[in-house]
Structure 1
Amino acid sequence: MVSLIESTTGMWLVGLFLQSMLHGMGLLQGFLYFVWYSKDNWTVKGTVVAVLLAESIQMGAAFANAYEWLIPGFGNFPNLNIIHWQDMVQLTLQYFSTFIVQVHFARTIYNLHMRDIYLPIFIFLLALLSFGAGLGQVILATRLGEYSKLGEASTSVTTILQAAVALTADIAITVGIFWRLNASRTGVQATNKILNFLIITAINRGVFTMLTAALSVILFLSKPGTFYFMVPLLLSNKFYMNSMLAMLNTREFAVGQAHGTRVVNSDSMPMFATSSVNRFGVSGVNVSTVKETSGDIVSLDGKMTGF
């Protein structure tokens, strides 16, 4: 019995603990975003608010579920097998938050090269399918009512489908951002330094989200009857939130690194910054200007329109 609890409820609590730390990091990044990028347009701000709100409610539901297990249900071992409504609320919001972030990156890729809409649409459809599979998983689990029944064929299909589609979307997002940013290179060294930084950041974010999706599938198939797969699953949305906020918050740092200067707000961002940087959300930059930097004159042709 003890080993069974450790591999099920115990893994859920481990996931909750790690979620809490990542959520705290995300809240800090969200606070810094609104301090540093107050002039971003409301499309980007709205996306950030929606993600932070969904993630915070999700964490509240997760703690409410743990409270139900440990306080009213203290010593009630059969209760540990019951699927409570709090469990399903947190999973629903987790999938919803992931969907928002994936759509955000699809829009980013589209804005980097508006003449090509096929890849963004493909990513959007993958995100929609992943969210739908997640909702299907929640509905089936609610009908089953017990965690011991989650290994049934119906829930297995939705679990594997959701993780597999999420992994495919992660790969498409990472490849798409790398491809679009790499294609934006110019003959200006400072601009290329910014693009290199953004490309490395995009690859790093993709590694974490892809690993959690792949690990969730592997553990679900290799460790049936346990919740080991829940640890990477519960962390995946936190990695999404933090990766999105990290890419938004490091834009000015990238510009400062390229010029060996410290940029503290969007008002001081050099006008030379390429459309690639601005399309990650900077809207407080006058994009119709031509500025001389480091001996190079760069015409922006009014392409920095933001999101």
Structure 2
Amino acid sequence: MVTELDATYGVWLVSLFVETFLYGIGFLQIYRYFASVPKDRAFIKFTVLGILFLETVQIIFFFYSSYDRFVNRFGEPQLNLIWADSLQLLAAYLGAFVVQIYFAHRIHRLTQGRSKFSISAFGLYIIFALAFVSIVAGVVQTATSYHLRSYLKLDQTKAITTVQAASALACDLLITIYLCLFLRRQKGEFMRTNSLMDSLIHDAINRGTLTAVSSGLNMALFLALPNTFWFFLGLAPNSKLYMNSMMSTLNGREARRAKLDSSDKDWNSIPMATIPTVVPTTGDTDSKMGQGSIRATVNFGTNPGGHSSHSLVATAV
């Protein structure tokens, strides 16, 4: 009996604790976002507010379900699914979907102007398709679970649950690979730009790995350990990881911009008196500009694809 409780409500409580912890971190990141980026575009602000709403709804009804089981019906057999379970699950799937579409939109902005039939465009279409497959499968899985009304019958949702988790996993991996390949191609001769690209690649890998591992863990535990709640360890924190990955990306822009601005100031602070004067010789075509004139064009911090470092910070993340 102890083992059964460990594998059911024990895992439930651990998952609730982890999810609450991640929600708190995400909430603080959202507060920091609105406090430090008041002039961001309305589209991004509404996306952040949408994520906050969905994740708040999700965790409220997870708490409600927990209270109903452990307080209102304490000591009773509780293998049934209630409406709050389905609602919090649907909110989690919607939150993950919004973040996936957000990152897909970022990739679209990076590759805009390219042919609609290029390899880049084809990869972007796959990302959008996987995101939509994931949310449709999530809605079907939620509706099916609510219709079954029992945790003992969740095994009947194995096929649709596998589709949902696998498509979410594939979408996260493809977004990560896509960003890494694109950013790697932006490296050039400037060390500052290369350092920025390495930082963005590192963040993309960390972001994609966390959400992909969570989706993979959910799928593996659901298939390997039926009639238990071990899959909660991957399912419960999944949407909160999406929330935190998006907010850490948005908040990280300011730190990178500040670093770039600092580098620009260092470049611009070179005393002009230390630059040798160019004295034109007789007959020089530019002699009309006067003695000591300097003509130079500096293309500093621009990558081979034509994106400036500042634009990559604003768009790639």
CA distance, structure 1, for counterparts of residue 185 and residue 133 of structure 2: 29
Counterpart position of 1:221: 223
SS of structure 2 residue aligned to 1:71: helix
Which stretch of structure 1 is more off in the superposition, 231-240 or 16-25?
231-240
Mark the runs of 5 or more structure 2 residues left unpaired by the alignment: 115-119, 269-297
Structure 1 residue identity aligned to 2:131:
A
Asked if 1:107 corresponds to 2:109, the answer is no
Structure 2 residue identity aligned to 1:156:
K
Cα deviation, 1:206-261, whole Å, max 9, x if unaligned, reads: 11111111111221222121110111111111111101111111112224445767
Cα deviation, 1:162-198, whole Å, max 9, x if unaligned, reads: 1111110011010011122222223332222222111
RMSD: 2.5
Asked if 1:129 corresponds to 2:136, the answer is no
Counterpart position of 1:118: 122
Structure 1 residue identity aligned to 2:238:
S
Counterpart position of 1:253: 255
Offset of residue 299 of structure 1: 6.3
SS of structure 1 residue aligned to 2:237: helix
Offset of residue 73 of structure 1: 0.7
Structure 2 residue identity aligned to 1:216:
N
Counterpart position of 1:90: 88
Question: Given that residues 165 and 219 in structure 2 are in contact (C-alpha distance below 8 angstroms), is that contact kept between their aligned partners in structure 1?
Answer: yes
Residue 238 of structure 2: which of 236, 239, 244 is its match? Answer: 236
Q: TM-score, normalised by structure 1?
A: 0.83
Asked if 1:181 corresponds to 2:183, the answer is yes
Question: Given that residues 197 and 254 in structure 1 are in contact (C-alpha distance below 8 angstroms), is that contact kept between their aligned partners in structure 2?
Answer: no
Cα deviation, 1:26-73, whole Å, max 9, x if unaligned, reads: 000111111121111111111111111100111101111111111211
CA distance, structure 1, for counterparts of residue 251 and residue 307 of structure 2: 23
Structure 2 residue identity aligned to 1:191:
T
SS of structure 2 residue aligned to 1:228: coil
SS of structure 2 residue aligned to 1:196: helix
Q: TM-score, normalised by structure 2?
A: 0.80
Offset of residue 11 of structure 1: 1.2
The 5-angstrom pairing of residues 143-154 of structure 1 reads 143-152=147-156
Counterpart position of 1:61: 61
CA distance, structure 1, for counterparts of residue 39 and residue 123 of structure 2: 29
CA distance, structure 2, for counterparts of residue 260 and residue 44 of structure 1: 26
Question: Given that residues 188 and 296 in structure 1 are in contact (C-alpha distance below 8 angstroms), is that contact kept between their aligned partners in structure 2?
Answer: no
Counterpart position of 1:166: 168
Counterpart position of 1:297: 300
Mark the runs of 5 or more structure 1 residues left unpaired by the alignment: 272-294
Report the count of equivalent residues.
274
CA distance, structure 1, for counterparts of residue 301 and residue 60 of structure 2: 49
CA distance, structure 1, for counterparts of residue 302 and residue 102 of structure 2: 28
CA distance, structure 2, for counterparts of residue 148 and residue 241 of structure 1: 30
The structure having more radius of gyration, on CA atoms, is 2
Counterpart position of 2:74: 74
Counterpart position of 1:25: 25
CA distance, structure 1, for counterparts of residue 2 and residue 16 of structure 2: 19
SS of structure 2 residue aligned to 1:151: helix
Quote the sequence identity (%).
34
CA distance, structure 1, for counterparts of residue 300 and residue 140 of structure 2: 54
Question: Given that residues 112 and 181 in structure 1 are in contact (C-alpha distance below 8 angstroms), is that contact kept between their aligned partners in structure 2?
Answer: no
Q: Moved runs in structure 1, 4+ residues, more than 6 A?
A: 299-303
Counterpart position of 1:284: none
